[in-house]
Amino acid sequence: GMEADFAAFGSPLCGEVKRFCRRVRETYREIKEDLTPYRDDRYYRLAPMRLYTLSKRHFVLVFVVFFVCFGLTVFIGIAGPNVIETSVARTDLNNSVKLKPFNLSSPPLSTYNQQLWLTCIVELDQQDVSLKKNVSMTVKILGVVKDGSTPYVNNQVHNRTRLLSCAQKCSEIIVAHLGYLNYTQYNIFVSLEDLNKLTYTIQNITFTWKTYNPTFSQVEIWFRFVFVVLTFMVTCLFAHSLRKFSMRDWGIEQKWMSILLPLLLLYNGT
């Protein structure tokens, strides 16, 4: 009696499972038909892509050339000049108890230096100090022109607040940053009167000028120029290869390439 009940119970269950599997197969077949593009006459008029007709040898050759070029750029980046050029303007406090404003002159600059940073590091007498304090500073930037005069930059004095963080050594503080250089030299006056309120003795304050390395800037310009020329040549070859086909017959890859190549040309050219 129990086996008969189990058989009666199993038959409907197996039937439901079979119907469910059949329904899944039908749904999959319908989705596959919907996703498969209908190959009308336009399908055979689409502009051909060389990538789909490459032989194995040419396919491997394309990848080899790509990795050789990529490795060459990585090697030039590693063996090339440093990106940032630094020069230290160490200031002597002369054992004075009270800090006075600092008058700092930048090294000679050119357009290849691109930007200018002035940073400082505070050195305390105590080495194992843990300190975090907001420090106010006053910065006045003067540009030196050829006749020796020093006009104001932006005609204002800048008041800035920076976080002084010390843990054995104090972290570097950015005093000023010029995003573009209109003068060949700058004089910067820095007042750090808030440091006089510290309970710790200041041993020294080291200021550092940072700019882009002019040699790096020249290498960057040549790289961009070479890539502008290469991108222009590829764009011309791409347009020449598609001149026989209507834009309606372009594939999605070719349409996107027609947008990306001019954008890449503009990116490398600016």
pLDDT digits (tens, 9 = 90+) for 221-239: 888 898 899 989 989 988 8
Question: Are 90 and 186 within one domain?
Answer: yes
Residue 167: its pLDDT value, please? 81
pLDDT of residue 149: 62
For residues 249 and 35, the model is more confident at 249
- Locate all alpha helices (DSSP H) within the chain, ordered by sequence: 2-35, 56-79, 214-241, 252-269
Strand 84-90 to 185-191 pairing: unpaired
CA 22: distance to chain centroid?
A: 53
Do residues 154 and 101 share a domain?
A: yes
**Distance between CA atoms of residues 162 and 255, nearest Å:** 50
Does residue 35 carry a pLDDT above 60?
Answer: no
Mean pLDDT of 58-64: 89
Q: What is the pLDDT of residue 3?
A: 47
Radius of gyration of the chain (CA): 34
Residues 223, 191, single domain; the answer is no
pLDDT of 7: 47
Residue 14 lies in a domain: no
Query: How many Cβ atoms sit within 10 Å of the Cβ of residue 148?
Result: 6
> What is residue 200's predicted lDDT score, i.e. its pLDDT?
79
Question: CA triplet 202, 204, 207: central angle to 5 degrees?
Answer: 130
Please tell me whether residues 196 and 260 are part of one structural domain.
no
Closest-CA residue to 178 (of 115, 118, 120, 119): 115
Same domain, yes or no: 103 and 197? yes
Mean pLDDT of 198-227: 88
Span of 75-79, 117-121, 179-183, 245-249 with lowest mean pLDDT: 245-249
Q: How many CB atoms lie within 10 A of CB 231?
A: 19
**103 and 53 belong to one structural domain:** no
Question: What region does 94 belong to: left with phi over 0, alpha with psi -120 to 50, or beta?
Answer: left
% of the chain surpassing 90 pLDDT? 14
- Taking CA atoms, 82 is separated from 69, 72, 73, in Å, by 21, 17, 15
Show the domain range for 121.
Answer: 85-211
Question: Three-state SS across 243-258?
Answer: CCCCHHHCCHHHHHHH
- My answer on whether 71 and 126 are in the same domain is no
Q: Is residue 59 part of a domain?
A: yes
Residues 205 and 167 in one domain: yes
Say which range, 6-15, 121-130, 153-162, has the weakest mean pLDDT: 6-15
170 lies in the same domain as 140: yes
pLDDT tens figures, 107-146: 999 899 999 999 998 888 777 778 888 888 889 888 887 7
Q: What is the pLDDT of residue 211?
A: 94
Is pLDDT at 45 greater than 70 in this prediction? no
Give, to the nearest 10 degrees, the angle between helix 214-241 and helix 252-269: 150
